[in-house]
Amino acid sequence: MTRQTPPGGLPARLLQASAALWFIIAAAFQLLFAFYIAALYGTGTLRGDSAVWNLIMRNGHIEGDPAGNAAMMAHVLLACLITIGGLAQLTPQIRNRFPAFHRWNGRFYLTLAVVISLAGLFLTWTRPAASGLSNDVSISLNGVLILIFAAFTVRHAMARRIDTHRRWATRLFLAVSGVWFLRIMISGWIMLHQSPLWLGDRLDGPAGVFFGFASFLLPLAVYEFYLRAGDGQKAGTKLVMAALITGLAGLTAFGGFAAAMIMWLPHV
């Protein structure tokens, strides 16, 4: 969640600082997620070891389905690149000091977002079900939102409406990060309860259904409230939002740590 420097005043500065804190924490665990993808799936693919695709995922690799396997490889391996590219796009120091890189990386990021989303939609509805229907619907909605946000990001960039472009780019980043949010939410839940309580075998339990949709709708909703707090004049609203985002930064750190311990580090 990044914005231009807000007008003066302690509430505005605290709001910006809370967003920066969240982004730093999220960036650290997203980079760890990218490392996990590269270490497990990247090296396994280079070795020609198709078995790695079924260590974690159901139906990651299916014999006799070259198109589906190729789509799965593209969907997963490109996630490593889009994670790094997205963080670079939203880092103000990179954006301001290297505008040419920002433009070309943005084109690369948008292309990857579209490819990964289309691959995800294809896999969700053509492969044997690896999750419940509700999870398939949430994945599809996430994919459609990514395509919509990508279109608006390009539209406003071409029209040189830079502030509006950045807002849509941040929405795109949050939607693309849905798969990462899902993992830290589920991992944090498991660590908190010391069990997969209410998740369901195929994420079809009450908690699994909730996290499936919350993984992208909740961050997007928080971002909209953040924008309105920043655009508004009420100091109290800014302070409440800063406190909320600071709390969410703590939850992000907890979920990221849980995902690292449960999902990522044991497999690299």
**218 confidence band (pLDDT: 50, 70, 90):** very high
Mean pLDDT along residues 109-129: 90
> Model pTM?
0.93
Answer yes or no: is pLDDT of 129 > 80: no
Give the Cα separation of 231 and 171 in Å (integer): 17
Most confident of 59-68, 100-109, 124-133: 100-109
Mean pLDDT along residues 78-84: 95
Question: 135-138, long-range: CB within 8 Å, 24+ apart, which pairs?
Answer: 135/202, 135/203, 135/204, 135/208, 135/209, 135/212, 138/209, 138/212, 138/213, 138/215, 138/216
pLDDT of residue 48: 85
Give the Cα separation of 259 and 187 in Å (integer): 5
pLDDT of residue 34: 97
Share of the chain above pLDDT 90, in %: 78
Give the Cα separation of 58 and 64 in Å (integer): 16
With beta carbons less than 8 A apart as the criterion, state whether 1 and 169 touch: no
Q: Can you read off the two tokens belonging to residue 196? A: 């997969």
Q: Can you read off the two tokens belonging to residue 23? A: 């982004």
**188 confidence band (pLDDT: 50, 70, 90):** very high
pLDDT of residue 268: 82
Answer yes or no: is pLDDT of 7 > 60: no
Answer yes or no: is pLDDT of 22 > 90: yes
Most confident of 56-60, 73-77, 83-87: 83-87
Total Cβ atoms within 10 A of residue 20: 16
Answer yes or no: is pLDDT of 2 > 60: no
With beta carbons less than 8 A apart as the criterion, state whether 160 and 168 touch: no
Mean pLDDT along residues 57-75: 86
Question: 139-148, long-range: CB within 8 Å, 24+ apart, which pairs?
Answer: 139/212, 141/213, 141/216, 142/175, 142/178, 142/215, 142/216, 143/117, 143/118, 144/117, 145/175, 145/216, 145/220, 146/113, 146/114, 146/116, 146/117, 146/172, 146/175, 146/176, 147/113, 147/114, 147/117, 147/118
To the nearest whole number, what is the mean pLDDT of the chain?
93
pLDDT of residue 30: 98
pLDDT of residue 71: 87
